[in-house]
Amino acid sequence: MAAKAIPGPILLLGAPGSGKGTQAKELVKIWEIPQISTGDLLRATKEQDTPLGRMVKEAMRRGELVSDSLVNQMVAVRLEQPDTVNGYILDGFPRTLVQAAWLDERLTARESGLPVIAVSIQVDYNQLLRRITGRRNCPVCGTIYNIYSQPPQRSGFCDLEGAALVQRADDTEKALAERMRAYEALTAPVIEPADRYDCGRHCCGCSAIESEWSVIGGQWSVPGASDGLLAAVTDH
């Protein structure tokens, strides 16, 4: 098998429920570079007894949105970790134009010479609605089901634990509508400027995850990642 190329920074952009996290996990398996999610960073940072951690915790305690400045600081700290030297996957970051401007400045100043790959995953609203409202979680093992596309064998119960499945409070049509309004106002304006990166691509996130996909002349046999995403990420 040919040696894997070093992908460099990968930006996965898209609406809530478009599959950024799912696809990021598959890309982690392929290139062994870290997935960096601002949601995960927020949860981890607020538990840290550091000036940044205390500021994040206080903002969340007051029910406020964590500011762009604090989010950028969290990402900056994470990008200093040694596991990012060969690349990383930014899952849903940047979310605002302020965050995008900060990231542009950082990427411009980097010395690695690796290309920046920005992929916008596009899914129509009805598909997003089915993904979000159909999602059910097992409270014991954490397995995620979807009553429309990946239902459990026994309706309402986990196949592995037999526990009653639960639905997150924000996995509703009303909550999705609110998240989409925020997305259209704050994040959608980030998508088109992302085309200026070394590789800017749009791909459809509606298709099912393929079990196997050959990338670039059959160099790699890649389990899991969707064809549209891999074509976007590897075509550079």
Cα–Cα distance measured from residue 68 to residue 106, given in angstroms and rounded to the nearest whole number:
15
Whose CA is closest to 205, among 103, 105, 131? Answer: 131
Cite the active site residues.
Answer: 20, 95, 135, 168, 179
Nearest Cα to 72, choosing from 103, 44, 50?
103
SS3 labels along 86-150: CEEEEECCCCCHHHHHHHHHHHHHCCCCCCCEEEEEECCHHHHHHHHHCEEECCCCCCEEECCCE
